[in-house]
Amino acid sequence: MGDKKIQETTEAQIAVHWQEEEYYYPSTKFIGQANLTDPEVFDRFSLDNFPQCYVEFAEMLTWYKYWDEVLDTSDAPCWKWFKGGKLNASYNCIDRHLKDNKNKTAIHFVPELEEERVDHITYQELYVRVNEFAALLRDFAGLKRGDRVTIHMPMSAELPITMLACARLGVIHSVVFGGFSASACADRIIDSNSRVLISMDAYYRSGNLLNHKVNADEAVELAAKEGQVVDKVLVWQRYPGKYSSETPMVDGRDYFVNEVVKDYYGSRIEPEQMLSEDPLFLMYTSGTTGKPKGCQHSTGGYLSYVTAMSKYIQDIHPEDVYWCMADIGWITGHSFIVYGPLALCASTVIYEGVPTYPDAGRSWRIAQELDVNIFHTAPTAIRALRKIGPDEPAKYEYHFKHMTTVGEPIEPEVWKWYESAVGKGEAIIVDTWWQTETGGFLCSTVPGIKPMKPGSAGPGVPGIHPIILDDNGDEVTQPGIAGNICIQNPWPGCFQTIWGDRDRFVDTYFGRYCKNPESKDWRDWPYLAGDAATKSADGYYRILGRIDDVINVSGHRLGTKEIESASLVVEEVAEAAVVPVAHDIKGKEPDLYVSLKPGYEASDEIAQKISDAICEQIGKIAKPRKVWLVPDMPKTRSGKIMRRVLGAISNKGDVGNVMTLANPEVVETIRTMVQG
Ligand code: WTA
């Protein structure tokens, strides 16, 4: 008894109460066509075969020169993969497909307005446009190998064209999510020392043509105040030949790409032969504190990894139409809209707007029209689609063979709706757990080999060897007891460092568990993901959220996700978020925020029903102080619920700056409701 008590109250451990879900098995039809069905892959990628096993991934690419060494650990923990090898990412995503597939669609660009036609760009067309723009970047903007350039663009075909043109020249791109503010853009310009900013005049969002160019002006001005001069702003036009923004162009600084590129029509640029370990791009991740971290991703390791993940986990075949509904401004879009699918010569869909514009059926109409058969999205979008149009998917003639969920833990209830309604019971689902830092997937089932389990990401993907550690660095082996999930081995997709801040990189991701900072042996450097997780008896990992998202009630640690999951079992509930509130006696108490599906009115009965459901599924210990039925959750632009804001409201604290949220107005409504 005494022992058990200690286990339940150490820092990293959380008692997990939820039930194991039943397996769902992939259909024989799916297995019959899958890229990876040989269970021996897990032996091939065992730690005994590390790092040699990863040659299988590198061989999916075309190299100018093979590597001298698979893994160089001499600068631990800044690993170098396929050291000495030479390749070019743009060549691998375009040129090498031309011989057999030049007339195949590379990109389907879907404008938000339904009356506008879908643009189908072939690999040949992509080749031409990337070359011409690369020539412009080199000869007009003066960019060369190793320079950084900031790209602040919306979802458009021009965004991957811009990225691939940079990659062709060996210029390191730093894409800033289009919905981010000018000041977020300026921070990234400054940190990466970009002297060129690439922008677009306007784009559609919920039916409105937004002025985007205005952000470029403001960002350049803010950066200048900090001493970072941007001397050229290259502006793509949403409607080529027509300027769609009211913000004037600045003479001698701003240029329309559509005009300048005419001087480069017909140009062809020989791809730079990049070293495998040369950086391909920076992707900034905000984290909860401190300034954004510029995650630096490599050329050879990253591209090998995302190509292999796209093939084995996304099951992409050249004939598939693949739609990842993320934004290219996030890592998911980099890896699984642009680099992975294009390296495999797939057709990738880029949708400009919101999935529910003009109505809840839009996503499914796009799927039907383009005959999409692989679909990739996040729990937040799934919850939104379930909330406003639970019966919509059935109205459309589309058939997915494969679906992905990524970005947050998915509640089993939501997973089941995704499987039956969106997937029509025909599609397999992969729940892919990974991070901006990791380049590609860490945990997921291999769809043609392992069964699915709602709410569980699954085992490590081939080559990834996770381990759950407690605060003393001891392995947690007991199912149902959670700890800090770490990865024991390096892998090619992992970022190389934080741009300009190696100490922070080593500290944040390795500081906690590395016992010997001088060691050059990778075994001494487990990677700390910063998530809490539990491992079931079958080796499947269930991610509980960030280590900090844990509530300690009377010395009993509860994962916020399990309480949220329990409330989603109640019919009327669309979304739920739990935050800790200070309590004199218990230490902390959970406060629960819930939004209801349309058609339901908030009432005391519903609140009571939710509270009862939690007590029933988890226990009285998890009973919320109060169930707040709110009109909507405060969310980030990428759709993650801002628990920090709700926590501040519950604790009568300062909500801080909420202007970067997707829906800042809802904060005041909730504050009034809670604080009176
Ligand atoms: C969370 C997104 C549960 C996790 C690719 C991680 C997930 C953070 C999942 C990284 C998943 C991502 N199940 N949690 N399938 N995928 N997360 O950097 O907390 O935007 O650490 O990368 O999202 O978010 P990021």
- The predicted-structure confidence for 422-454, as pLDDT tens digits, reads as follows 999 999 999 999 999 999 999 999 999 999 999
544's tokens: 């509980």
The alpha carbon of 81 and the centre of ligand 1 are apart by a number of angstroms equal to 24
Ligand 1, atom 8: closest residue by C-alpha: 435
Ligand 1 pocket: which of 293, 332, 404, 406 to mutate (most atoms <8 Å of CB)?
A: 406
14: enclosing H helix or E strand: strand 14-15
Q: By C-alpha distance, which of 580, 161, 626, 639 is closest to 387? A: 639
d(CA 90, CA 272): 9
How large is the angle between the packed helices 213-225 and 182-192, nearest 10 degrees?
50
Contacts of 290 (CB under 8 A, 6+ apart): none
* Cβ atoms of residues 209 and 238 within 8 Å: yes
54: three-class secondary structure by DSSP: helix
Q: Is 431 in the pocket of ligand 1 (CB under 6 A)?
A: yes
pLDDT for residue 557: 61
Q: Assess contact for 462 and 446: CB atoms under 8 A.
A: yes
Contact 185, 220 (CB under 8 A): no
- Greater model confidence, 20 or 157: 157
Count of domains forming the chain = 1
Which phi-psi region, left, alpha or beta, contains residue 193 (left: φ > 0; alpha: ψ -120 to 50)? left
Mean pLDDT of 526-554: 85
Lowest mean pLDDT among 162-176, 277-291, 417-431: 277-291
Lowest-pLDDT range, 212-216, 250-254, 335-339, 632-636? Answer: 632-636
Alpha helices (H) in 313-459, listed in sequence order: 331-333, 340-343, 362-370, 379-388, 412-417
Residue 627 lies in a domain: yes
Checking if the pLDDT of 552 tops 70, the result is no
CA of 231 to the centre of ligand 1 (A): 36
For residue 583, what pLDDT is reported? 78
Question: Has residue 581 got a pLDDT over 60?
Answer: yes
Task: Select the more confidently predicted residue: 582 or 343.
Answer: 343
| Cβ contact 261:251 at 8 Å | no
Residue bearing the CA closest to ligand 1, atom 14: 408
Q: What is the CATH classification number for the domain harbouring 628?
A: 3.30.300.30
DSSP E strand boundaries for 194-336: 196-200, 202-205, 208-211, 232-236, 254-256, 274-275, 279-285, 293-298, 321-324
Q: Rounded to an integer, what distance in angstroms lies between the CA atom of residue 645 and that of residue 286?
A: 16
Q: What span, in angstroms and rounded, lies between the C-alpha atoms of 420 and 391?
A: 11
Task: With a cut of 90, say whether residue 161 has pLDDT above it.
Answer: yes
Least-confidence region, from 71-75, 153-157, 371-375, 623-627: 623-627
Calculate how far, in angstroms, residue 640's C-alpha sits from the geometric centre of ligand 1. Answer: 10
Cα(545) to centroid of ligand 1, in Å? 8
CB contact set of 322 (below 8 Å; sequence gap of 6+): 314, 316, 341, 346, 347, 348, 349, 372, 373, 374, 376
Q: For residue 567, is it within any domain?
A: yes
Q: Is the CB of 432 under 6 A from ligand 1?
A: yes
* 147 domain residue, yes or no: no
Domain assignment of residue 593, yes or no? yes
The pLDDT assigned to 615 comes to: 84
Report angle CA 602, 639, 508 to the nearest 5 degrees.
125
| 198 strand-pairing partners | 151, 234
- Checking if the pLDDT of 637 tops 90, the result is no
Q: Whose CA is nearest to atom 23 of ligand 1?
A: 407
- Cβ distance 151 to 158 under 8 Å? no
Average pLDDT, the chain: 92
Does position 324 have pLDDT exceeding 70, yes or no?
Answer: yes
CA 665, 668, 669, 674 torsion-angle sign: positive
- Decide if 189 is inside a domain: no
Give whole-number Cα distances, 137 to 133, 163, 214, 264, in Å.
Answer: 6, 11, 22, 10
**Cα(5) to centroid of ligand 1, in Å?**
30
How far is the centre of ligand 1, averaged over its atoms, from the C-alpha of 623 (Å)? 27
User: Does residue 460 carry a pLDDT above 90?
Assistant: yes
433 lines ligand 1 (CB under 6 A): yes
Q: Of all atoms in ligand 1, which is nearest to the CA of residue 638?
A: 20
User: Which of the four pLDDT bands, split at 50, 70 and 90, describes residue 183?
Assistant: confident
Ligand 1 atom nearest 437 alpha carbon: 18
The confidence score (pLDDT) of residue 289 equals 46
pTM: 0.88
**Tokens coding 114:** 């339904």
Mean pLDDT of 621-643: 89
240 located within any domain = no
**Ligand 1 binding pocket includes 332 (Cβ within 6 Å):** yes
Q: Which residues pair with 256 in a beta bridge?
A: 235
The string of pLDDT tens digits covering residues 236-245 is 999 999 999 9
Q: What is the residue whose two structure tokens read 């300009």?
A: 500
* Higher pLDDT among residues 118 and 615, named by residue: 118
Is the pLDDT assigned to residue 10 strictly greater than 70? Answer: no
Instruction: Establish whether residue 408 lines the binding site of ligand 1, counting it when its CB lies within 6 angstroms of any ligand atom.
Output: yes
Distance from C-alpha of 498 to C-alpha of 513, rounded to nearest angstrom: 19
Residue-number span of the structural domain to which 644 is assigned: 554-675
Distance 435 CA to ligand 1 centre (A): 5
Residue 108 domain-assigned (yes or no): no
Whether 93 has a pLDDT exceeding 80, the answer reads yes
Tell me the per-residue pLDDT of 206-223, one tens digit each, with 9 for 90 and over.
999 999 999 999 999 999
Q: Which CA distances in Å does 355 have to 186, 364, 400? A: 28, 9, 17
pLDDT band at 15 (very low <50, low <70, confident <90, very high): low
Q: What is the Å distance from ligand 1's center to 196 Cα?
A: 31
Share of the chain above pLDDT 70, in %: 95
Q: How confident is the model at residue 11 (pLDDT cuts 50, 70, 90)?
A: very low
With respect to residue 582, please indicate whether it lies within any of the assigned structural domains.
yes
Where residue 503 falls among pLDDT bands split at 50, 70, 90? very high
Answer yes or no: is pLDDT of 496 > 90: yes
- Residue 373 pLDDT greater than 60, yes or no: yes
Task: Say if ligand 1 is within 6 A of residue 531 CB.
Answer: yes
Q: Which residues partner with 234 through β-bridges?
A: 198, 255
From ligand 1's centre to the CA of 408, what distance in Å? 5
CA distance 568 to 588: 22
Instruction: Say if CB 36 and CB 582 are below 8 A apart.
Output: no
Atom 15 of ligand 1, residue of closest alpha carbon = 433
Which pLDDT does position 491 carry in this prediction? 98
Give the integer Cα–Cα distance in Å for 607 and 229: 54
Q: Print the SS3 string covering 450-505.
A: CCECCCCCECECCCCCEEEECCCCCECCCCCEEEEEEECCCCCCCCCEECCCHHHH
**Whole-Å CA distances, 605 to 366, 553, 565:** 39, 25, 19
d(CA 627, CA 625): 7
